Structure formats: structure tokens, C-alpha cells
């Protein structure tokens, strides 16, 4: 995106950014580099980073929020910035790594365990898993009606049942256990309660970038810290939740008034809202005065936002294969392809599909990261860490058949109960289309005498990289560019953001 310095007279325009996650910070950096001087970020919590959050498990650095750079290649600005700041390991920087086309499934070495304590033959289980993933891939070619299959879950279940209809009882039962597990994996990838809530028509709006997903050895927050060094230290005001944004204030010179929870208020020429879609779903009616227009509200409702949490578990020694990178737990009683538990209180743990092994082992020791999505995950958040540890210990003993295995440490995330996030990330809901993503990112008002009073950034506003850090970062740049372009005096430098 070409940035053009705005006219000198416009550099005093007051811009308030709500939220100091990656979208808010990237917008601030771009605006200030372009000459805007009065840029202020108001952050509800006591830290920057939002859903980028690095923590500690014993001496290990672990990610509580975003984990990977999805698709680390030249087209990915998070990869380019991380490389520029020297935050990545040599292997992630190789052209070979950047060129790998893995789509959503990195070629991790798996181990499969079952609920009767058996370790399955990897080839057999993996081939059943591939059959299931191929059906997920078929969603991109599906041209049929959306009434028969409104959701990805219904589509996959139907095709998978058809595929195995003539198989013998034992094979079909195992295939369906694998399919249930794959649906739970997909719930985590999409941050959805069930794949029945993920719209088939919007499922392929997401665009994969090439490159083998990589991590930040010293933590994702390094990206945030480096970006913040590019703006004056007092740019962010912490512990300052915004309560209400009054826009269309035609009587004042500044058309927007921002009211904070502590009763203070300030005027602004432009406000960039970067709060999560989960937060907007819950608080939009109090947050905007006048209320948001109907088409925006409908898109806020239609586009999905759900929970995906992690449960880190540390052991004294590994019980998985030395080369294993991912562990899947298959429930043998799940032969009806289920991704929702009927009784959440007693069976929430069945939603946890398995674990990633933290690599390299020399750095982390025997540490696993479990994944659990949906309402089961939200219920898990209400339990004490000790109760979570007990359930995980019981689960691992059952699946390994080892009655004395005991984790050394357990740490879980709680994104649903984080009052400033209200969940993990967005996904296409039933009936969601690219129009909804456009509506979510559309500024208010878009035309008229005082346009661009309230602008919207954040992962859920990106047309094809929603749910990711790079999507959020690009959305922040997009809104900064919108303002820079608005104040650019040379017509040839003005960009049309309505295309
Ligand atoms: C990625 C990954 N990753 C795991 C987990 C989570 C997420 N993501 P922010 O919320 O950050 O900032 C808003 C700020 O606003 C915040 O600081 C608030 O405190 C503040 N705020 C709120 N209300 C306020 C108020 N009233 N006043 C003032 N301030 C207020 N992304 O690239 N790689 O590995 C993962 C993962 C557990 C929770 C992730 C990952 C998502 C990113 O973390 C997330 O998008 C961005 O950080 C959001 O930044 P932001 O600035 O928009 O908001 C079809 C299809 C498939 C699609 N899926 C494929 C990809 C799957 C994505 N996978 C993610 C997986 C993991 C594991």
C-alpha cells in the first residue's frame, strides 16, 4: 500500500484508536510515520498485544494467545516484520520454508491413541484422517444448493457417511472416530463450537499463504514490543476502557466524542475501533450512539466468533514417540461423528482433540499443548486450574493405559472470560459472505460532509485473512491508509477503499 504524507494542515487531526492489539498498534505506527501527530491509543487492559500474549510455564516461554505465523512468506507482513526485527530462527527464514505449500495442515508426525488405551498404527489412522480432510477440501468445489448443506459440518458428515456406507463394522467405527476427532480439530482451527455453526458458503473465503508455520522462540509479544518502539512511549493509555463512542456530532468541530469508563471523555476527528467481534456482539448497543446501521449489525450477528483455548501440560519424561509432533485422542464410542458433547459438565474433556508437542524438545523439555474449542472450552474456563489438571491427568492415563502418569505443571488459557476479548477469533457463520466482512470493515459515515468519523479494524474485518495476526495487522494498515489517503492533496494518490 502506498502511503502519501497528508497535507501539513491536517497533521493536527485528532485520531483515537480503541484497543492496543496488533490492529490498533499497526494503525498508529503507520499514521504517525505519515506525519499525524495527535494519535492516541486507549487500551482497556493493563497491557498491549490483546490476543497476542506470551506467558511462562515453569521456565518455558509459552503462547497464551496466537501461536504461529500462518504462512510465513514474503506476502505475509507479520513474517516480514518479525524477520526485520530479528525475531525468527534461521530455519524459518529459508526460501525452502517459505515456499512450502502446506495449506492448513503442516506435515506434523502424528501419534494416535484410543479411549481403550491403545496406540494405533499410524499409517492406518493417518489414511482415515486424510480421507476425512479430503472431504473438507471438497467444500471448495461444492456448487450445490446451500439449503441441503448450510454448514460445513452437515456437508462433511453426509459425504463421509456415504464414503464408508459399505465398509465393515470395525473399519466404519474407527473411520467415524477419526472423523469426530477431525471435526474437533476443525472447531479449534475455526474457533467454532461446532462445524455445524460454520457456513459452507463462506468457508472458503479464507486464503492460505505458502510457508511452513513458524513460531517466535522468544515469544510473539516481541513483535508488539518492537512495533511500540516506533511510536512515542505515551501513545498508549492503559486501563482505559472506552464505554461509548458518540458520532455524527454535527454541532461540534470534532464530530466524535469518546467516553471512557472512568467518566473522562475526549473529542476526536476520527476513531478507529479495533475491539474483537466477540466484544462488539456483546456491547455494540451501548458502545455506539447513534447505534450502528442495520446492515452492520446484521453482519456482526451473522459472522461467527467463538472460543479456542490451550491447556499446556508438562511431564517429567515423554510418553510419545521421539519424532512425534502431534497427538490425537480418538474416542471409540464416537461413531456418529460428533463435535458437540451432550452433557458438557460431565464430558467437556472429550472435546479436547489432542496435543501439539512443543519443539524443539531440547528447549522446552516434555511439554504438550492441548487444544479445546467451543462451549466445552468455555465451561473448562470456569473450573479451577486444579480441576482442569485432574481431568487432563485422568484423560491421559485412560488413553495411554498408564495409570500413574502425572503432569508436573498445567496451564490453560481463558479467552472467553477475558472481558475485553469475549472469545478467541472469528469464523464464517451460517450464511456469512464476503459482504459481511466488507460491512464489518466499513467506516461511518462513508460519505457526506464529515466522512470517516468511526473506522473499523481488527482480524474480523479482513476479507480473507480473518482470524489471524496478519489479517489484523493488515486491517490496521488499511484504516491508516484510508485516513492518509483522505487527507492527501494529490487526487492521483487518493485510494478508493470502496472497491
Ligand atoms: C495467528 C495463530 N492462534 C490462538 C488463540 C487466540 C488467537 N490467533 P485484539 O483482540 O488482539 O486487540 C483488541 C484490543 O482491544 C485488546 O487489547 C483489548 O483489550 C482492547 N479492548 C477491547 N475492548 C476495549 C474497550 N472497550 N476499550 C479499550 N480497549 C478495548 N492468529 O495468526 N496465528 O497461531 C493464532 C490463536 C488462543 C486467542 C489466535 C492466531 C488469532 C490472533 O491472535 C488474532 O486474530 C489477533 O491477535 C487479533 O488482533 P486484533 O488487534 O484484531 O484484536 C475457513 C477457515 C479457516 C480459518 N482459520 C484458519 C486459521 C486459524 C487461525 N488460527 C489460530 C490459531 C491459533 C492457534
Q: Would you list the domain boundaries of the chain?
A: 8-51+217-304+428-493, 103-206+308-412
Classify 103-206+308-412 by CATH class. Answer: alpha beta
**Can you give the pLDDT at residue 104?**
65
**Averaged pLDDT for residues 9-37:** 95
Pocket test for ligand 1, best of 42, 47, 50, 188 (most atoms within 8 A of CB): 50
CATH match of 8-51+217-304+428-493 with 2.30.110.10:
no
Q: Say whether 103-206+308-412 and 8-51+217-304+428-493 share the same fold.
A: no
Omega prior to 360 cis, within 30 of 0: yes
Is the beta carbon of 192 within 6 A of some atom in ligand 1? Answer: no
Q: How confident is the model at residue 141 (pLDDT cuts 50, 70, 90)?
A: confident
Is the beta carbon of 125 within 6 A of some atom in ligand 1? Answer: no
| Nearest ligand 1 atom, CA 424 | 38
Task: Name the residue at shortest CA distance from atom 40 of ligand 1.
Answer: 66
Residue 424 CA to ligand 1 centre (angstroms): 6
Task: Name the residue at shortest CA distance from atom 63 of ligand 1.
Answer: 189
CA 320 to CA 326: how far, in whole Å? 9
pLDDT in tens, 254-271: 899 999 999 999 999 999
**Can you give the pLDDT at residue 252?**
78
| Nearest ligand 1 atom, CA 283 | 26
* pTM for this predicted structure: 0.96
Is the beta carbon of 461 within 6 A of some atom in ligand 1? Answer: no
Are 348 and 134 in contact, with CB atoms under 8 Å apart? no
pLDDT in tens, 119-137: 999 999 999 999 999 999 9
Is the beta carbon of 413 within 6 A of some atom in ligand 1? Answer: yes
pLDDT at 3 over 50: no
Residue 238's φ and ψ, nearest 5 degrees, are: -90, 165
pLDDT in tens, 332-372: 988 788 999 999 999 999 999 999 999 999 999 999 999 99
**Averaged pLDDT for residues 274-293:** 98
Residue 22 CA to ligand 1 centre (angstroms): 8
pLDDT at 5 over 70: no
Amino acid at each position: 500500500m502506498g502511503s502519501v504524507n497528508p497535507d501539513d494542515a491536517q497533521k493536527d487531526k485528532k485520531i483515537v484508536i480503541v484497543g492496543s492489539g496488533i490492529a490498533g498498534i499497526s494503525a498508529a505506527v503507520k499514521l504517525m510515520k505519515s506525519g499525524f501527530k495527535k494519535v492516541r491509543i486507549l487500551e482497556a487492559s493493563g497491557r498491549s498485544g490483546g490476543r497476542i500474549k506470551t506467558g511462562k510455564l515453569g521456565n518455558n516461554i509459552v503462547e497464551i494467545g496466537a501461536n504461529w505465523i500462518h504462512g510465513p512468506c514474503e506476502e505475509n507482513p507479520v513474517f516480514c516484520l518479525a524477520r526485520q526485527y530479528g525475531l525468527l530462527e534461521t530455519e524459518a527464514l529459508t526460501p525452502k520454508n517459505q515456499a512450502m505449500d502446506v495449506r492448513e495442515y503442516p506435515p506434523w508426525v502424528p501419534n494416535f491413541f484410543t479411549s481403550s488405551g491403545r496406540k494405533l498404527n499410524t499409517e492406518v489412522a493417518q489414511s482415515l484422517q486424510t480421507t476425512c480432510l479430503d472431504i473438507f477440501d471438497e467444500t471448495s468445489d461444492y456448487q450445490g444448493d446451500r439449503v441441503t448443506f448450510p454448514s460445513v459440518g452437515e456437508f462433511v458428515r453426509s459425504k463421509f457417511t456415504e464414503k464408508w456406507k459399505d465398509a465393515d463394522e470395525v473399519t466404519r467405527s474407527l473411520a467415524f472416530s477419526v472423523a469426530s476427532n477431525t471435526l474437533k480439530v476443525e472447531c479449534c482451527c475455526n474457533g467454532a463450537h461446532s462445524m455445524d455453526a460454520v457456513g459452507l458458503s463462506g468457508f472458503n473465503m479464507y486464503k492460505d499463504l505458502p510457508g511452513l508455520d513458524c513460531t517466535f522462540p522468544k515469544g510473539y509479544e516481541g513483535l508488539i514490543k518492537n512495533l511500540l518502539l516506533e511510536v512515542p512511549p505515551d501513545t498508549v493509555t492503559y486501563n482505559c476502557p472506552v464505554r461509548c463512542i458518540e458520532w455524527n456530532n454535527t454541532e461540534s468541530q470534532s464530530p466524535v466524542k469518546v467516553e471512557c469508563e472512568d467518566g473522562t471523555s475526549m473529542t476526536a476527528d476520527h476513531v478507529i475501533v479495533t475491539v474483537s467481534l466477540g466484544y462488539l456482539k456483546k456491547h455494540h448497543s451501548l458502545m455506539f450512539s447513534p447505534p450502528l446501521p442495520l446492515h452492520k449489525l446484521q453482519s456482526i450477528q451473522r459472522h461467527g466468533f467463538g472460543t479456542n483455548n490451550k491447556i499446556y501440560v508438562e511431564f517429567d519424561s515423554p510418553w510419545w514417540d521421539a519424532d512425534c509432533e502431534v497427538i490425537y485422542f480418538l474416542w471409540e464410542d464416537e461413531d456418529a461423528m460428533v463435535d458437540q458433547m451432550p452433557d458438557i459438565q460431565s464430558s467437556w474433556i472429550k472435546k479436547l482433540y489432542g496435543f501439539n508437542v512443543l519443539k524443539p524438545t531440547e528447549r522446552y523439555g516434555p511439554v504438550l499443548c492441548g487444544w479445546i474449542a467451543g462451549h466445552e472450552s468455555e465451561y473448562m474456563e470456569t473450573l479451577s486450574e486444579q480441576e482442569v489438571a485432574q481431568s487432563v491427568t485422568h484423560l491421559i492415563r485412560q488413553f495411554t493405559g498408564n495409570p500413574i502418569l502425572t503432569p508436573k505443571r498445567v496451564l490453560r488459557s481463558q479467552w472467553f472470560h477475558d472481558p475485553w476479548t469475549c472469545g478467541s477469533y472469528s469464523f464464517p457463520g451460517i450464511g456469512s459472505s464476503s459482504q459481511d466482512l466488507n460491512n464489518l470493515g466499513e467506516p461511518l459515515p462513508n460519505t457526506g460532509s464529515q466522512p470517516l468519523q468511526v473506522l473499523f479494524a481488527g482480524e474480523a474485518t479482513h476479507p480473507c485473512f480473518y482470524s489471524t495476526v496478519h489479517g489484523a495487522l493488515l486491517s490496521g494498515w488499511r484504516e491508516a491508509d484510508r485516513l492518509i489517503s483522505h487527507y492527501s492533496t494529490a487526487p492521483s494518490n487518493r485510494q478508493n477503499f470502496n472497491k
